[in-house]
Each structure stands twice: as structure tokens, then as C-alpha cells.
Amino acid sequence: MLDLLREISQTLRNNKLRTVLTGIAVAWGIFMLIILLGAARGVNNSFEENMGSRATNVISIWGGRTSKPYKGYKNGRWIELKGEDAKAIKNDNESTVSDVVPFASADTAKISTSLDVIQGFDAVFPDAARTERMTIKYGRFINDLDISGARRVMVLRDTQAALLFGNDSTALGKTVSSMGLAWTVVGIYTHRWNRTTYAPYTAYKAVTGNNDDAYQLNVTVQGLTDEASGEAAEDDIRASLARQHEFAPDDANAIWTWNRFNDYLRGQTAGNILQIAVWVLGLLTLLTGIVGVSNIMFVSVRERTHEIGIRRAIGAKPRSIVTQVITESVAMTAIYGYIGVFMGFVVLQLINYFVGDNTEGFKNPTVDLSIAVEVTIALIIAGAIAGLFPAIKATKVKPVEALRDE
């Protein structure tokens, strides 16, 4: 083993300039591979967090405008969703739909205290906390008693509560003024981006004279496994609303939908494609270094023709010579490769420190141990490939000719 290390060291010393230039190419290729993998991880992490901030087995629906005449109705008719649509969807799809949450909007309503004013709230049912993935920080979300009693209560985002009361921790149990009435704050929640204020759907209806308009329906669907099942569930929901509002079931513009499950699957597929593309691009960048290492090993084999001939003459097997040359190649690739790995890790940590959690669409662009293992395997394979052809050439050295040339 010590002899092998000495021979590797001698090979590096005999070709200092060429070795350094080749090593820089290898280090740069691995450096770029690490940076690209980290960037891809940052994009994927952001996607996963964004999708994780909402339930993925939900189809969101908004009213649209018909583009086809149907049963005597002309095209261009606006479809206005109602709270009662939730019951129709659930009754028509009992085996697949577990819940439907209507959202009503009081987007022009002022919510005020003596300190500040914010605008707008959504009127919802208790399950909105699940579909929107809120984390309750203080108190609670809207419950069934709030719905049955049409209680005038509100749930605020922590940042909004801080505006209205100076500190979100002191807001619980206090009142705000909205629509000319007092509303009690019963909960404070946190979320990555959602700032909406929430109130009971029934309380909003009572205040507005039993207005049943809903600007959005969130339909929770069970048993989704692939895009086909997601599309089938979406078609069933569309058919229910088509019967309810009398528009053509195949009119894509009558209602607008967001199938979160299918979007999630497509995002995962795109992430996998991005990861593969990054590996391909990174390995192509590394190819320059591999060619350089291979050239150095060819030079090393040529300079050691006499030595190889002597070893062959005293009985060294071709396999031992191949092993030595490939090991030298792998060692050279690994030494400079890990310099590139180290530099890549440092740069990614700096990127993460300055922008990792503050940039939309980009979060925690770092690589973990699994990536380090994968890069190590790539380095070993690259080094072996770089040394393979020089090693084969070394086995073809004839002892008699090698000694005569000397």
C-alpha cells in the first residue's frame, strides 16, 4: 500500500504543471456539479414547502363564465357559486369526496382597533384550517359551535394581530370592529405566506342578510393515486356543478379549477427531470477533467515503459498493472474532486446564509450526505474510466521491447 502511494505521489510530481491544470479541471467540474445539485435542491425544497403549506388532496373551484349555450341559456353567463353547492357536490360523490368547504369573501370590510386597520376577511367552515394547513399559535380555529351559533369571532394571522394590538400574544380574547359590529379574536395562526383573516361562514351570512355567495369551494377528495384519478375526480365535481347551475359539463370556462394533487405530481416529475438534467450537465462539465487525467496517465505509462517491462519480465500479471494504473487515476481524480466538493459545500452554505430562506422559489440550497455519497461514486467511476485505456495500453507493453528501448 505504501509503495502504491509513493508511485502515485511520484506520478503527480513528474507532471506538476499538467497535473495541476488537469486537477483544476476536475475540481471545477465537481464544484459545478455540487452547485447545480444544490440549486436544484433549493428549487425542489421551495416547491415541497409551498405544496406542503396546503393540503394536496384538494380541488379548488371558482365560478367562471360559460363559453357554450346550454338548455336555452346563451354563452357568456357568469356562474356564481353558492354555499349550497357544497352539499350537492358531497351528495353526488359520497365515495370520493370527504368534505367541501365554501369560502365567502368580505374583501372590502375594514377590521380595526385603536392602533391600526386591516382590510378583508374570508368566511369559512372549520375544515378550512386543514385545507389551508394553518398552524395555530394561540387559541383555536373556528369550530362547530361558532358555525351553529353564528358567533362573531375571528382568527388572525400573527403578523396582522401584531398590527392591530401591538403584540400577537396579547390579541387573544380582545375585540376588533368590522362591518359596524364587534368581533372577538379567538385564535392566532402562523403560515408561510397566508395573511387572510377568518370568520365563521354563518356569522357572515347573518350579518349580510343570509347571502349564500361563495367565491371558492375547496373539495377534499379521497383515494387519489395518479393523474388519471385526479382528473376523474375533477370531472365528477364539474358534472355536479353543471347540474346545479345548468351549464354544459364539457364547458371548461364555466368554472375554473385548481387540482392541487395533479399539480403536485407534475411538480414532482419536473423536479426529477431537473435532477437528472443537472447530473448530466455536471458530468459533462467533469468530462474535461476526465480527459485530462486520462492524458496524464497515458504520459505516465509511456514514461514508465521500462519499469512496466521489468515487472512483466519478473512475472507481474497484467491485472496487477491495470489495478495500479486505475488506482493512480482514481486517486488523482478523488484528490482534486474533493477539493471541488469542499469548495461547492462552502459556496452553497454562503448562498443559503444570505438568500436561502428569503427568496421565493428557492429554499435551503444545500446538499446532504446522500449527495456526497453519490458524488464520491461518480468520482470513483470517473477516475476508473480515465485510467482504463492507459491501463490497457500498459498491459500491452512487451518486456523484451521495453528493455531493449531502454
Q: Where are the domains of the chain?
A: 2-51+265-405, 58-260
Mean pLDDT is highest, among 111-120, 203-212, 312-321, 371-380, for 111-120
Residue 318 cell numbers, joined: 497484467
User: What residue has cell string 365515495?
Assistant: 95
pLDDT of 402 > 60? The answer is no
Distance CA 194, CA 124 (A): 15
pLDDT band, very low/low/confident/very high, at 111 (cuts 50, 70, 90): very high
pLDDT of 152 > 60? The answer is yes
pLDDT band, very low/low/confident/very high, at 400 (cuts 50, 70, 90): low
pLDDT of 312 > 70? The answer is no
pLDDT of 234 > 90? The answer is yes
pLDDT of 300 > 80? The answer is no
pLDDT of 178 > 60? The answer is yes
Distance CA 37, CA 3 (A): 37
pLDDT of 107 > 60? The answer is yes
Q: Which amino acid is at 163?
A: L
Mean pLDDT is highest, among 30-44, 95-109, 289-303, 373-387, for 95-109
pLDDT of 140 > 90? The answer is yes
Please give the average per-residue pLDDT across 386-392, as a whole number: 77
Please give the average per-residue pLDDT across 89-98, as a whole number: 91
Greater confidence, 176 or 367? 176
**Whole-number average pLDDT of the chain:** 84
Residue 29: count other Cβ atoms within 10 Å of its Cβ: 27
pLDDT at 349 (0 to 100): 83
pLDDT band, very low/low/confident/very high, at 13 (cuts 50, 70, 90): low
Please give the average per-residue pLDDT across 65-73, as a whole number: 90
pLDDT band, very low/low/confident/very high, at 298 (cuts 50, 70, 90): confident
Distance CA 175, CA 177 (A): 7
pLDDT of 3 > 70? The answer is no
pLDDT at 361 (0 to 100): 61
pLDDT band, very low/low/confident/very high, at 290 (cuts 50, 70, 90): confident
Give the least confident one: 111-115, 296-300, 325-329, 330-334.
296-300
Greater confidence, 217 or 19? 217
- The alpha carbon dihedral of 335, 341, 346, 347 has a sign of positive
Greater confidence, 42 or 7? 42
pTM of the model: 0.69
pLDDT band, very low/low/confident/very high, at 134 (cuts 50, 70, 90): confident
Is there a contact between 127 and 143 (Cβ–Cβ < 8 Å)? no
Euclidean distance between the first and final Cα of the chain, in Å? 28
pLDDT at 30 (0 to 100): 83
CA 251 to chain centre: 33
pLDDT at 228 (0 to 100): 93
Residues contacting residue 133 through CB under 8 Å, at least 6 positions apart: 52, 53, 54, 55, 191
pLDDT at 390 (0 to 100): 75
Residues contacting residue 11 through CB under 8 Å, at least 6 positions apart: 19, 296, 300, 328, 332
CA 132 to chain centre: 18
β-bridge mates for residue 90, sequence order: none
pLDDT of 208 > 80? The answer is yes
